[in-house]
Amino acid sequence: MPIIACSSYHPPWVLRNGHVQSILPVLCRRVTGVTYQRQRIATPDGDFLDLDFSPVGADRLAIVSHGLEGSSERAYVLGMVRVLNRSGWDALAWNFRGCSGEPNLQLRFYHSGDTEDLDTVVSHVLADSRYSLVALIGFSLGGNITLKYLGERGAAVDPRIRAAVALSVPCDLTSSAVAMSRACNTIYMKRFLRMLHVKIRWKMQQFPGVIDDHQYQYIRTFHQFDERYIAPLHGFLSAEDYYQKASSLPFLAGVSVPTLLVNAGDDPFLAPACYPLEPARNNRHLFLEIPPFGGHVGFMRWWEDGDYWSEKRAMQFLMSLVDPIAKR
C-alpha cells in the first residue's frame, strides 16, 4: 500500500497497443487554448531557464516538467496546462536548458537527474508570496527529476509543496536504457538521437575544440550517447555512474508528500524495475498506478473537451488532496 490495484483507464481496443499510444499523440494531437507569459530567470552557475506561465489568478500553482527533448510547447504539456487552468490552477511549464528555442550558455545542458534546475524554478516560485500551495507534475524524464527532487528533500521539502504527479517515468535509468536499445524501439532511438545531435552541434559552435560529433552516426543507444556526452558534460564518471546517481528509484523511500506515479504496463520505454512495487508498498505517500495500457506519455481517450485520461487523472488526484486542505 498504496498500490492502486484497479486503474480507471480503459481505452478502446484500437488503442490497446503501447506503440500506437506512444506515437499517435506525437503525430496527431493539437492543443489549443493555452497562452503563455514567458519569464527568464538566472541559474546559480550563470546560465538561464525560460519559464512559461499560464495564470488564471489563482493562489495555487502546478509546476510542469517535460520529457526528453520536449518543451513547454509539446502537446502533452499544453494539455496538462489547459486542464490545470480549467480547474482553477495557475500553471508553470518550464523548459530545460536548451529546450526553449535557443542554446543555453554553459557547456552542460540537462540530464535525467537534474534536480538543481528544478530547485531553482521551485525557489523562484516560492519567493512569490501569491502562491500558498504548489504541486509538481512531471512527464517521463521530467517525472524522474520530480520524484528524485522530492526524495532527496524528504521531510525537509517546503511545506507549500502539497502533492505531485509523475507520468511514464523511467525510475531506473539502467534498465530503461537497456529497454530502449531493443530493436522494437529503434524508431524512438533514432528520433531522440537526431534531436540530441542538434544540442551537440550547438555546443560545438559555442565551445570550439571542446566537444565534437566525430562518428556520431555510429551512436545507436542511450548508453553510447550518455557515455560520450552526458556523463562527462555533467560531472559523472561514466554512463553507469550517471544512471546510478540520476535514477529516482533509490530516492522513492524519501518522498514525503502525496505523489501519484502512473506507468502504463505496455510502455515500450520501461523495464520491470521502472514499476516500483516495493517502494510504493513501503511508503504511504507514494501511490503507484499501473494501467495495463497507455504506452509512453499516451493514455489517449477523447472527451468533448479534448482532454486525455492522464490529465483528468492528475487533476482528480490533486483536487482530492488539495480541496480538503484548502477548506480547513
Q: What is the CATH number of the domain that holds 168?
A: 3.40.50.1820
Q: Which 8-state DSSP code applies to residue 93?
A: E
| pLDDT band, residue 213 (cuts 50/70/90) | very high
Mean pLDDT of the region 20-46: 96
Mean local confidence (pLDDT), 232-256: 98
Question: Does residue 265 lie in a domain region?
Answer: yes
- Residue 237, in any domain of the structure: no
Domain with 58, as residue range(s), is 3-173+247-326
The answer to whether residue 29 sits within a structural domain is: yes
Domain assignment of residue 223, yes or no: no
Active site residue 140: yes
In the predicted model, what is the mean pLDDT of residues 247-270? 98
The answer, yes or no, to whether residue 145 has pLDDT greater than 80, is yes
Q: Active-site residue among 54, 87, 140, 256?
A: 140
Q: What's the pLDDT score for residue 128?
A: 82
The residue annotated as part of the active site, out of 52, 172, 226, 267, is 267
Please check the confidence at residue 306 and state whether its pLDDT lies above 90. Answer: no
Q: Which element (helix H / strand E) includes 322?
A: helix 309-326
Give the number of domains in the chain: 1
Q: How many CB atoms lie within 10 A of CB 284?
A: 12
Residue 328 binned pLDDT confidence (cut-offs 50, 70, 90): very low
Dihedral sign, Cα of residue 79, residue 85, residue 91, residue 97: positive
What is the mean pLDDT of the segment spanning 179-199?
97
What does the pLDDT read at residue 303?
63
Q: Quick check: 304 pLDDT over 90?
A: no
267 catalytic per annotation: yes
pLDDT confidence of residue 324? 55
Q: What is the pLDDT of residue 326?
A: 47
pLDDT tops 80 at residue 323: no
Q: What distance in Å separates the CA atoms of residue 92 and residue 36, rounded to the nearest whole number? A: 9
54 touches 85 (CB < 8 A)? yes
Asked if residue 18 is part of any domain, the answer here is: yes
The answer to whether 94 touches 137, Cβ cutoff 8 Å, is no
| Residue 183 domain flag | no
160 part of a folded domain: yes
Q: Is the pLDDT of residue 325 over 60?
A: no
